[in-house]
């Protein structure tokens, strides 16, 4: 398969899958997700591959779903606008069906036998977290920005690993406000495995992947799958299905209709400003705010 929106590389026992829409901050289209799904199963089927690194080209991991045309009418048949799952649907069940369709593509990360490491830099927002938090391990740059701002006026995450990774209180703190955390704070609360200075990120991820490459892929598979079965016994797979149901329900909220109206009448930029401007910086961590105040005072 010839890819347009991702890059697929093989390097010894490592496969690298790179989201490749840097001019759009790697916003997720349906085509990108189809290609990502294909590349993940290609790596899983390759007996020479031990593990996969998932990362983004350019200055960010992924700023979320491509909202081109969000809030408008249903796009033409065949149009590659992922925003169709938010607007233009006929019934709530149509909406949920489309959300589940995208979910099936993403769940390859969870279901495949080979471990997947997410390498997160820049922004990892909204749909970007739907990908990264399904990965087996996440290593982030300390200054990465991780969060789900759409919960303020657009819906809820279609992939829900937040509670399993960060615990219920931090999951609520982030999802009830749409606030974000830095990579350093995400590591502190357990949302990601580790955070390192940005200039060390690639080396840190590659070093971990190299260690995995010293292990027989069948053993990697056994240990990944038993961990994920444990998550399933804690309800993780059912929660993913319920996350799609809840997002469909959330799309019925008056705030979502208002966001769509602002987007239609004034454009996407105005809608995002309407959604986010009252939250200021939007960081959830008191430690981050304290550091920012110290840095400002030092200047």
pLDDT at position 298, please? 56
Q: Domains (ranges, CATH) in the chain?
A: 6-298 (3.90.226.10)
Exposed (0-12), middle (13-18) or buried (19+): which is 296, by Cβ within 10 Å? Answer: exposed
pLDDT at 87: 43
pLDDT at residue 283, rounded to an integer:
82
| pLDDT reported for residue 171 | 98
Which DSSP state fits 79?
-
**Which DSSP symbol is given to 101?**
H
| Whether 185 contacts 287, CB under 8 Å | yes
Q: What's the pLDDT score for residue 292?
A: 57
Exposure pattern of 52-68 as b/e (b: 16+ CB <10 Å)?
bbbbbebebbbbbbbbb
Pairing of strands 6-11, 14-19: antiparallel
Ordered per-residue pLDDT tens for the chain, 299 residues: 899 999 999 999 999 999 999 999 999 999 999 999 999 999 999 999 999 999 999 999 999 999 885 443 444 555 545 444 444 557 899 999 999 999 999 999 999 999 999 999 999 999 999 999 999 999 999 999 999 999 999 999 999 999 999 999 999 999 999 999 999 999 999 999 999 999 999 999 999 999 999 999 999 999 999 999 999 999 999 999 999 999 999 999 999 999 999 999 999 999 999 999 999 888 876 565 565 555 555 55
Integer-rounded Cα radius of gyration of the chain: 19
Q: Are strands 116-120 and 137-141 parallel, antiparallel or unpaired?
A: parallel
Question: Of 123, 26, 13, 120, which is closest to residue 65 (Cα–Cα)?
Answer: 26
Q: What is the pLDDT of residue 152?
A: 97
Helix H, strand E, coil C: the string for 33-53 is: HHHHHHHHHHHHHCCCCCEEE
Per DSSP, the residues of 201-231 read: HHHHHHHHHHHHTTS-HHHHHHHHHHHHHHH
State pTM to two decimals.
0.89
Helix (H, G, I), strand (E, B) or coil at 77: coil
- Judged by DSSP in three states, 298 sits in helix
> Could you give the count of Cα atoms lying within 13 Å of 188 in the half-sphere of its Cβ?
13
């Amino acid at each position: 398969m010839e890819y347009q929106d991702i890059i697929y590389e093989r390097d010894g026992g490592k496969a690298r899958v790179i989201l490749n829409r840097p001019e759009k901050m790697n916003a997720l289209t349906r085509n990108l997700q189809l290609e990502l799904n294909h590349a993940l199963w290609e790596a899983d089927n390759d007996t020479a591959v031990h593990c996969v690194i998932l990362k983004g080209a350019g200055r960010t991991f992924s700023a979320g779903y491509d909202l081109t045309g969000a809030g408008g009418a249903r796009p033409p048949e065949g149009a590659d606008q992922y925003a169709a799952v938010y607007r233009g649907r006929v019934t709530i069940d149509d909406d949920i069906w489309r959300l589940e369709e995208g979910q099936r593509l993403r769940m390859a990360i969870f279901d495949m036998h080979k471990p997947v490491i997410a390498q997160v830099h820049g922004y990892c927002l909204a749909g970007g977290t739907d990908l990264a938090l399904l990965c087996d391990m996440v290593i982030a740059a300390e200054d990465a920005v991780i969060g789900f701002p759409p919960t303020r006026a657009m819906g809820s995450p279609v992939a829900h690993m937040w509670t399993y990774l960060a615990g219920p209180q931090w999951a609520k703190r982030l999802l009830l406000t749409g606030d974000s955390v830095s990579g350093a704070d995400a590591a502190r609360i357990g949302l990601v495995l580790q955070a390192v200075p940005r200039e060390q990120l690639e080396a840190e991820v590659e070093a971990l992947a190299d260690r995995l490459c010293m292990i027989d892929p069948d053993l990697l598979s056994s240990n990944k799958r038993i961990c994920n079965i444990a998550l399933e016994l804690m309800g993780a797979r059912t929660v993913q299905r319920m996350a799609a149901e809840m997002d469909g329900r959330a799309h019925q909220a008056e705030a979502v209709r208002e966001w769509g109206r602002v987007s239609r009448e004034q454009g996407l930029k105005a809608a995002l400003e309407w959604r986010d401007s009252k939250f200021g910086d939007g960081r959830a961590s008191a430690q981050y705010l304290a550091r920012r105040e110290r840095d400002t005072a030092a200047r």
